Structure 1
Amino acid sequence: MSDTYQTVNPATDEVLETYQLMSRDEAAKVVQQCHEAFGTWRKTSFDERAKAFRKAAELIRERKDEYARLMTREMGKTLAQGKQECELCAAICEYTAEQGPKELADQERELNGGRALVTFQPEGVIYGIQPWNFPLYQVIRYSAANLIAGNTVLLKHAPNVWGMALEVEKLYRDAGFPENAFRTLLIDHDVSNDVIENPLVRGVTLTGSPNAGRAVAQRAAKVLKKTVLELGSNDAYLILADADLKKAVQYCVQGRVYNTGQTCVAAKRFIVEDAIYDQFRDAYLEQMKQITFGDPTQKETVMGPMARKDLRDGLHEQVRKSVDNGATCLLGGEIPEGKGCFYPATVLENVVPGQPAYDEELFGPVASLIRVKDAEEAMKVANDSPYGLGGGIFSQNEARAIEMAREEFDTGMVNINGYNLAQPNLPFGGVKASGYGREHGGFGMHEFVNVKSVMITES
């Protein structure tokens, strides 16, 4: 990366802004300022912290039109989905304000000859490395949990959404957080490595690819720092023979094309029992044919562009390799002419091991259809993946589906008879190559705190 970076509108190829990268010395100074802010912020009461989060929620709602337009310009999200993202972020801030003081309150424990406390104390500066696909949510998700705990926060956002990265810094400042409690770093990978190793940084959290996760975790481990990783996935949705077909098709289409398919917990592999495979395929294909792409600023647009040309071209190469290795393309699969990073809704069948459509994460609007003989094979295929973030089961036998989800599905999250994204009150995270650690539901508030025992001997 050069000393500057230009952001580009993926729908029009228009250059939006040119940003100057921070030098090593400039980044180190920001880390120092963030550390100094920690000394003040950690001493604030939970009431003060909660008040700031309620103000942040209020500001997000006031600014949601502005934020949605920025998301659309920088990474192609439709305006409607940008506003939905803002509502989720406001809800996270409100949940944090309400539940944080309860989650982080001291706990009393028994002690022979006295009593004991378990207390959750902030550790210091937490460094977050975040992707572009939900440019506001990804940041609020990790930063809120850490700020309510009394930590201070650094952000290295994906460079194509640096406009939003700076807006989040302004948001927290305007909400009443100390000036340096949250800071954005406009830096490249080399300077980022320095930040990870900086002694003032106490923990690192990353959302990104497995390769990025490995690199960051290894570097942090060398200096004995904890990491939380939320990585990619190839989420499987099981459509069993007794599924409500209409409902299954509806949610499986939604789960594949939301955010132009650029979602770590998108529905990606559709594993269908043989008894209803043809019915599901035909109905699913018919619905996917109705999904059109276009100008993300227009109300009627279902899918905007992909975020960058390299990402679009990489997805197309995965489709091409899958077809070359035996998959059948039933719909889409061609790069459209004209400006922008658009890619059509695409459906592949005859998907088997050895194809990217089976083995890898396809981060875009490409669906993989897999035929299996029964529910047992469906679960085996679902778990036949290096990933384990989310998944789903469609069956009218709810009790059986819950049992399969609880005991057999090797993922961090499972949807039953629906499709849901992150929820503020439920843990979010995965297993295997999808990472480790949890966010949301109060769990993220405990990832980067010192869980300290205080033992009081009484006379």
Structure 2
Amino acid sequence: MTNEANNPATIYANGGVSRNPANDELIATYPYQTSDEIERLLENNAAAFRLWRATPMTERVAAYRRFSTLLRDRSEALASLITAEMGKTIGEARAEVAKCAVTIDWIAGNGPAILADEPVTVDGDDEVYVSYLPVGTILAVMPWNFPIWQVLRASGPVMLSGNGFVLKHAPNVMGAAHALQEIYEAAGFPKGLFANLNADNETVAHVIEDSRIAAVTLTGSMRAGAAVASTAAKALKKSLLELGGSDAFIVLADANIDRAVEAAIRGRFQNAGQVCLAAKRFILERPVAEEFTRKFVEAAKALKVGDPMDTSTQIGPMARKDLRDELHDQVERTIAAGATLLLGGKKLPGAGNFYEPTVLSDVAPGMAAFDEETFGPVAAITIADDVEHAIELANTSDYGLCGNLWTGDVARAQRVARRLETGGVFINGFSASDARIPVGGVKKSGYGRELSHFGLREFTNAQAVWAKTVS
């Protein structure tokens, strides 16, 4: 369990602390902003928003083009910062920055058409259209696991549509927050339009209530989401929540097992298992359960854990010690409830927050690794009698972010997909995100959508304009 020395409430009592999770070395501290500093931040942001909303779309797009160029120019420095602050392997960090640049390019290239006035045909000669207008400044409470990507998939659409953006980033990745603000300003966005808020939870709640904040978006835990949504609702403000998941990875008897195992390893152990859209519960149809399990354990055992700056490393440290403690507690409770430990299950000794790749079998509903989100390198295996049982097990979850389905019959898979209670289904692949498709969940995985045309319009005022013909 978490001890006081590793308790986030203790670690971040006075502000953000950036500490290298691979060696425990302190990188920087970020004291909380004073009330006067927060007031100036909100005033400057409001002024920047008024300027930005009146800026022609062509000029906004030009700023985004400069932004993506700067991302690519600074990609190595950004990737090294990500690895140092939260432990992602350097290869994965480079891929994160590259994905961000591609996403910004897509937003700049496709956003103007998506946000353009949309004509509506009515009887007669009246002119009717819908305009997608900015609503104000959006407060974003963002997590640490993808410190650049999570922010840009939120801020990119929000700001292209003419809104302002205030970021409350996770306290252990404040260096990434400041790097992004610097790039936004260097790209020519109005100073203060993208602003970093560094404050405790009570202060964040007051900021949500402030009249200069129009809405709030959060990616994080169910507890954090409930708190933020409640505060926003009391202030009659819209919220968007992405609250994690426990994605089922269903392997049916006619699946290509070797390809499924390869995808399962990547889907579960990328970013040391610290991914919301990730395979976590492996539901195997009985005829292929033994083969899949054997090959999966062999592949997981071969993964190299170590220095995230070493390009040969496949799994780096977990982001914080308290997160590793919580994960280990979930593993121990699952084993105590009757699961079988096939691989791993231990914290690695020495400096850093390393945890062994872990595989648990005989996992059933009611066990921690089945019911809870395991945010680390732990895979839970459950056997299903048939496809109907697999669907039942997949839907036996409070979460509903994404699902994975492996089978040789894609038409059947598409029919099954409609019965899975998730925001996304990936057939013969693993959960992922892409600028072109919406991402978001149902049930306790949250509500609202980011990315695609849904994300570009999520925080806009769909204003209907009906112009009567005057004779």
Alignment pair present for 1:196 and 2:212: no
Identical positions, percent: 44
Pick from 224, 227, 249 the counterpart of residue 212 of structure 1: 224
Within the candidate set 354, 359, 364, 2:371 is matched to 359
Q: Determine if the alignment matches structure 1 residue 334 to structure 2 residue 346.
A: yes
Shift of 1:28: 2.4
Q: Secondary structure at the match of 1:53?
A: helix
Tell me how many residue pairs correspond in the alignment. Answer: 458
* Contact kept? 1:56, 1:175, Cα under 8 Å: yes
Q: Distance in 2 between matches of 1:306 and 1:65?
A: 21
Q: Is 2:119 the partner of 1:108?
A: yes
Q: Distance in 1 between matches of 2:13 and 2:363?
A: 41
Counterpart amino acid of 2:448? Answer: G
2:180 pairs with 1:168: yes
TM-aligned CA distance change 1:355 to 1:420, over 3 Å: closer
1:130 to 2:142 alignment: yes
- 2:314 corresponds in structure 1 to 302
Please give the per-residue CA displacement for 1:52-85, whole angstroms capped at 9, x wherever unaligned. 1111111111111100100111000111100100
TM-superposed CA distance for 1:92, in Å, is 1.0
- 2:198 is aligned with 1:186: yes
Distance 1:384 1:20 in 2: 43
**Partner SS state of residue 29, structure 2:** strand
Matched, 1:10 2:18: no
Pairing of 1:9-158 with structure 2 (within 5 A): 9-112=20-123, 114-158=126-170
Matched, 1:227 2:239: yes
Q: How much is the aligned-residue C-alpha RMSD, in angstroms?
A: 1.0
Paired residue for 1:289, among 286, 298, 301? Answer: 301
Using the TM superposition, give the Cα deviation of residue 18 of structure 1 relative to its aligned residue in structure 2, in angstroms: 1.5
Partners of 1:281 and 1:3 lie apart in 2 by 46
Match of 1:247 among 230, 255, 259: 259
- Displacement of 1:420 in angstroms is 4.5
Q: 1:400 aligns with which of 388, 402, 412?
A: 412
Q: Secondary structure at the match of 2:191?
A: coil
Match of 2:8 in 1: none
Deviation, 1:188, is 1.4
TM-score (norm 1): 0.98
Return 5+ residue gaps in structure 2 as ranges.
1-11
Whether the aligned pair in 1 keeps the contact of 2:403 and 2:431 (CA below 8 Å) is: no
Which amino acid letter does the alignment assign opposite residue 351 of structure 2?
K
Question: Structure 1 segments of 4 or more deviating over 4 A?
Answer: none
TM-score w.r.t. length of structure 2: 0.96
Query: What residue in structure 1 maps to residue 465 of structure 2?
Result: 454
- Report if aligned partners of 1:9, 1:74 keep a CA contact under 8 Å in 2: yes
Q: Deviations over 1:270-328 (max 9, x none)?
A: 00011111111111111111012100000110000000000000000000000011011
Mapped contact 1:111–1:455 kept (Cα < 8 A): no
How many Å separate the matches in 1 of 2:14 and 2:98? 35
- Output the CA distance in 2 between the equivalents of 1:89 and 1:404: 32
Shift of 1:111: 4.1
Task: Check the 8 A contact 1:296/1:305 in 2, yes or no.
Answer: yes
Whole-Å separation in 1 of the counterparts to 2:192 and 2:51 = 10
Check the 8 A contact 2:20/2:26 in 1, yes or no: yes
Structure 1 residue 3 displacement after superposition: 3.0
Q: CA offset at residue 23 of structure 1?
A: 1.7
Structure 2 counterpart of 1:380, which letter? E
* Partner residue, 1:317: 329
Match of 1:385, SS? coil
**Inter-partner Cα distance in structure 2 for 1:158 and 1:447:** 23
Residue 25 of structure 1, CA deviation: 2.7
